Each structure stands twice: as C-alpha cells, then as structure tokens.
Structure 1
C-alpha cells in the first residue's frame, strides 16, 4: 500500500488529508492528515485502505503532495560505511562496525516533495544527502532487533539537506551536527508499507537503486542493498533504554556517493560545486518514488552579541 498527504491544487487553504495512492488516483482518508497521526491513533492501515477504496477518488495530478509523515521525533544514522569512508578518506573508525551511530534531528524542519529548499542563513557550502528511512508503526521500549524489525510500518525517502560549513565549524567543539543539519529534511513523496518491499530484500536492505542529479547532471548512483546496518539493529540501538513512539522516523544515513561532499573529498568528476539558488535536485529511490526540488535563497543571518 502507498499513502500520501495532499491537498487540492486549486484550494491551497484546504485542510490536508491522508490518501491511499493507487494507479495515479488518490482515495481520501479525511480523518487523518498524514501517516504518523494514523499510527499514533493505532489505526489499521489495511482497514483504512479498504474503506478508502469504497469511496471517491481524485486524480494525483490535481493534488499538491505534502510530507506523508509529520513524525514526533527523528533520528538520522550512519549505516552506509562507503559514505563514511568517502567523506573521511583513510580515517574509518572501526567503532562504526560495533553500533550504528546517529544524531537526533529536527522533526519541525520536515518539508514536503513540492516545497522549495532554503539555504540556511550564512551557509556557503550547501549539500543534499540521499537516504531512506523506516517509520515505526507502534511504541517500543528497549526492543530487541527482531521486535524492532517487526514494528516497522513502512518506508519513504529521507533527504538530509546539509550546511557543510556550519556543520564542520560546530563539530570542532565536540558537539553537533546542529545548525548544519536542522534547516530542512524532505520526506516523501509516498509512504510505502513494509510488505511491499519484501520481494526485493537483499543483504541488510533491499535491492533498490538510489540515484540523484543536480540540474540534470548525474551525481549519485547507489543501491540500498549496500547498507551495513539492518533497520532492526538501528531501531534496537536507538531504543536501547528509552521509548520510541509510533510514527517516529529513523534515517539510514547517506548511500555511498549520495552527497556532494563525498565527491568533493574524493576528487570525483561528479562534483561541480555546491548547491546554489535556482538549482534543481532530482532524487529517486526505486519503488519509493521520485523527488524534484528547487534550492532557493535562505533567510538572513542575524549576528550574535559576539558578532558571529
């Protein structure tokens, strides 16, 4: 099953609604706005889908798509070791093989597939990161990897828009990333239930291509199956000794070659500069969908009392 959050294009003031997507038609589920709300209410997605099919439908082309999930919390992990090696040539820390490191991201910065992407104030080296994410279907506390895996409701694309200069500056102090990562995270375009991907399971992930281009120039050509941590381990580690809520999102981290920083660090010909206002970034994960987003000028940077 595939679900979207949408509103009609001819009425931008209309209340957004959850919808079941089938054959370019969307069957509205008006009692919920997006997937996380339905999961938090312990709604059965299969039952919602069955009820929606018996009602009306709208053409997908008539709708503006929003983020299909507004999560109560987000964590972003480092599960593709190729990405780590590319970003830090010659300095791979073996602890990455012991546990999937993560940071807590800004769930209030989620944007949808049709939203412009603002460059953060003061950023000169703006980047994208092509990822996927798992969405929890129920509350978990201190789960085993098996319990965690069974609690995954589904998946969507996760695009971690990154201010590299801000990120590097703050991480020299031993904390972060903070302002380098909290300006925008795209989720969407669709939420797809976990059972839909099972026929493509391979290794610790799925045999699904992950690609990205900037202004039509190919940059990323990866595959989910190259991931080094299974989402069961990721969720079990994130939930160790704490509670995770229904609808929470856990990002995979960047697929190998999935950002400009990797290509800049490795001297790849795919790097032709950092993202600028007016650039279009096309991102695709097989079966999960395609995004095309435009980078725009950001808000002004207001100096602190220090002048920074």
Structure 2
C-alpha cells in the first residue's frame, strides 16, 4: 500500500490511500482519521485498507480524486519519537578522514543514533525555512521506517515484523552550528531543524524485491538546482540495517507505534556514486585538495530527492523544497498578552 496525510487545517491532517502510480487517492478517514491512529490499530485495520488500495488501483472506488503533492503533509506530521542513526559508516569515515582523525573501532559494531525533534515534521513540498544562511544549510537524503509497538529488548530477527512503513527523508542540517553544539557533549539541538519526509509512506510488501526485510535496494538520487549531487545505492555499504537499528533503539525501552527510525545519510564507498549531502562532498574536496569548494545551500536554492524503481517510476514521490529565509514569528503565532 501507499499511504499519505493531506493537509486539512489540523495538526495531524487526514489519512488517505494513494494509488501505486501516485496519481490519485481515496479517503481513509472513515477507517482511521490519522496516520497515528492507523499505526495504533494496524493489525485490525490493515486488511480493510488493503482492500481499499486494491479498489483504487483497479479504478472502481467511487471516491477517487487526483493526488497533489503540494497538499501532502509528512505521512506523520508529528511523531512520538524520531531516532536517526548513522548506518552508512562510509559517511562517518570521510568526515574523520578529512579531520585526519581515526575512526573509533567500536562504531563498526555499536550504531550511532540520536533522538531528534519530532513535533514539527514537514511535507515534501514545504520550504526549508532558516533564519541565517551562515548556519551552513545542508540536505541529508535518507531512508526511514515507521514501526508499530516494539517491545523493549526486541532481537533483530523479531524486529523485522515491526516495520510497517518505509519513507524517504530530507534530514535538514545546519552544519556550522554543529561543532559548538557537539562540544557541549549533549548532542544536536539547534543544528537539526524540522525534518522533511516524502509525500507517501509505503508498506514493505509494496516494494517487492526492492525490500528484503532489512533494507531498501534502490538508489537515492539528490539534485540541487537541477544539478545531480549523487545517486548512491541504499542497499550497498549499509553497515547497520533497519532491524539492527530497531534492536539498538529498543535496548532499554519499548518503542511506541509511530516511532520513526532513520538510516542517516545514504552513502557509498564508491566515490562515483556521488553524495547525499553537501558536507560529504566538501569532505571529499578537503581530502583531495585541502579546502572545500562546494558551498552550503543558499536562500532560493531548490533541493530534489527521489527514489526511482528500475522502470523509472517514482516510489515515494519527490521531496522538492526551496530554501527560504525565516521572517520571524507572525502575530498570530505569538502568545497573547495576559489581561
């Protein structure tokens, strides 16, 4: 199945079922009003949603309407938990090599993961809004999965069955804020603004042989202003697959339905694959010549991230965003003066 959330003026939007070719949708709010409600009751609702999805693709559902990505929220506009890993260690290796630092050996068997902000996810056509371009605006193309309820201490072999949806991600980063934040020893905060997700979330069975239960075996293509940045393969050089990341995340606590687990920047050790973020390209430039020449994103730049299947069809739809300067809080968003 392919599922999405449409903007409807509420925080959590309206759940819809989207056709395989991403051209049309039907409402699903009579079954579950929101994506979170669906995930809370996945076992009892999956069959009815699948029936509706099949009818939509046959063209014999009475409520079919055209699907417009500009109306799409992130599939989960806000989530109880967003845990982002660093599953492609080739990315971390490059960063350390550029600093002439050794890669700690424990990172090859103990995944890196941080818990990010999950209250303001943004949709595939929403602007990247940042106050200051000097903060070093960067994209990060990733894959993410969404879970049902995951018990504490789950083992990798059992974690597979808890993966209910797969999504595409732009984990926006503010690179020039990171060094100071990390020097405090408490991780990211200001340097990780709102994360963007694909317009649709896809069930594992929908991906066929491109999903092997643990990873997506397709390329992730990133463009900036129409120019190719990279197209690394998401199934290659993945040091920690998604069941492994789930096992890691659930080591000391259970994970609630709707938990989102990210792969980190998709990266291949083959430099010919290009990059999924500007930081990686800059590290390659430092290694080659001592200085980076590629700038970070500027206001007005456009980012496009997409996964295509072998036939050229878009799997999740493209994340296509413009970078815009934040103008400050509007009067309506500010707290009223006490009376």
TM-score (norm 1): 0.88
How far residue 207 of structure 1 moved from its aligned partner, in angstroms, is: 2.0
Match of 2:336 in 1: none
Q: 2:284 and 2:294 mapped to 1: Cα distance? A: 13
Separation of aligned partners in 2, 1:15 and 1:167: 30
Equivalent in the alignment of 1:21: 18
- Could you give the per-residue CA deviations for residues 19-62 of structure 1, whole angstroms, max 9, x where no partner exists? 11114110111244542221113442331242464451111149
Structure with greater strand share of residues: 1
Tell me if structure 2 keeps the 8 A contact 1:191–1:288: yes
Contact 2:12 2:34 in 1 (8 A): no
| Residue 127 to residue 239, structure 1, CA distance change in 2 (3 Å) | same
Question: Are the aligned partners of 1:204 and 1:225 in contact in 2 as well (CA < 8 Å)?
Answer: no
Partner of 1:111, secondary structure, is coil
Choose the corresponding residue for 1:231, options 239, 242, 248: 242
Q: Does 1:258 align with 2:259?
A: no
Task: Using the TM superposition, give the Cα deviation of residue 124 of structure 1 relative to its aligned residue in structure 2, in angstroms.
Answer: 2.7
User: 2:96 is matched with which residue?
Assistant: 88
Q: Which residue of 2 aligns with 1:291?
A: 319
2:225 equivalent in structure 1? 215
Give 1:141 shift. 2.0
3-state DSSP of counterpart to 1:110: coil
The alignment partner of 2:71 has SS state of: strand
Per-residue CA shift, 1:257-306, capped at 9, x if unaligned?
211011111108996311111110010123233111011002559xxxxx
**Does the C-alpha gap of structure 1 residues 26 and 201 become closer, same or farther in structure 2, counting only changes over 3 Å?**
closer
- Structure 1: which 5+ residue stretches go unaligned? 302-308
Q: CA deviation at 1:197?
A: 2.5
- Higher helix proportion (structure 1 or 2): 2
* 1:275 pairs with one of 292, 297, 308: 297
Which of 222, 229, 251 aligns to 1:240? It is 251
C-alpha change, 1:51 and 1:214, in structure 2 (3 Å) is closer
Counterpart position of 2:5: 5
CA contact (8 A) 2:69 2:125 kept: no
1:16 CA drift (Å): 3.3
Greater mean alpha carbon deviation, residues 280-289 or residues 159-168: 280-289
What is the deviation of 1:88? 2.0
Distance 2:245 2:10 in 1: 38
Name the counterpart of 2:110: 99
How many equivalent residue pairs? 297
Please provide the CA RMSD for this pair.
2.6
Do residues 50 (structure 1) and 51 (structure 2) align? yes
Deviation track 1:217-242 (CA, whole Å, cap 9, x = no partner) reads 11122011121111111001100120
* Whole-angstrom CA distance in 2 between matches of 1:169 and 1:62: 37
Q: What is the correspondence of 1:125-136 to structure 2 with a 5 Å cutoff? A: 125-136=136-147
Question: For the Cα contact (< 8 Å) 2:160–2:213, is it kept in 1?
Answer: no
Taking the TM superposition and a 5 Å limit, the aligned residue runs for 1:112-123 are: 112-120=123-131, 123=134
The 1:299–1:85 alpha-carbon spacing in structure 2 relative to 1, beyond 3 Å, is farther
Give the direction of change, closer, same or farther, for the CA distance of 1:15–1:213 in structure 2 (3 Å limit).
closer
SS state at 2:49 partner = helix
Query: 1:201 deviation in Å?
Result: 4.1
1:306 equivalent in structure 2: none
How far apart, CA to CA, are the structure 1 residues paired with 2:255 and 2:219?
A: 29
